[in-house]
Amino acid sequence: MKRLFALLLLSALPALGQTLPSAPSNVYAAGVSFNSAASPRVAGTALYAHLASDGTGTYVFSVYDAIPTTTNPISVTSNVGVGVAQKLFVVGKIPFYAPVAAGVSWNGSNTGWQWSGGVMSAVKLNKSGWHVYPNVRFSKSSVNVGSGYMLIPGILLGFQK
């Protein structure tokens, strides 16, 4: 499983290229989300994104979601995915992106596929690159059979450079 995780992370690294100064080349973020289909209802998310193309607002990224499924005993479904986030539009100075990812999902000895998508914005906190990323995403996993699509609103804190 560790090799698969490392492979997924490495596959999100794009070819080196020139980027525009106004678009950050790298984004690192982590945070919490609310999942009404889980127990407890608090989940965790971490992501890394890299600008894929000059001026298009296209990022390639890797994402990890830890979604609790039971409390006694504690059980967590882990979702690791790679994907693309495309800038949709800008309101004022706040850009909005549509991230879509697919990858591996596991819980104990159960392993399967997962995919997710949604919308995310990037709100600048200060001039040193810190941002807040409010987001609303959905997730679907073959490991959580019967749970269907899970709506996961959340907030990430991250750094862009």
58 falls within a domain: yes
- Give the domain extent around 99: 2-10+32-160
148: burial class by Cβ within 10 Å (0-12, 13-18, 19+)?
A: exposed
Tens digits of residue pLDDT in 60-86: 999 999 988 777 788 888 999 999 999
93 falls within a domain: yes
Q: What is the mean pLDDT of residues 8-23?
A: 41
Q: What is the pLDDT of residue 20?
A: 37
pTM (two decimals): 0.80
27 falls within a domain: no
Give the total number of structural domains in the chain.
1
24 falls within a domain: no
6 falls within a domain: yes
15 falls within a domain: no
C-alpha span between 33 and 148 (Å, rounded): 18
Q: What is the pLDDT of residue 44?
A: 94
Tens digits of residue pLDDT in 28-47: 999 999 887 777 889 999 99
CATH number at residue 116: 2.40.160
144 falls within a domain: yes
C-alpha span between 146 and 27 (Å, rounded): 34
16 falls within a domain: no
Say which residue, 15 or 69, is predicted with more confidence: 69
Q: Can you give the three-state secondary structure of 117-159, one letter per residue?
A: EEEEECEECCCCCEEEEEEEEEEEECCCCCCCCEEEEEEEEEE
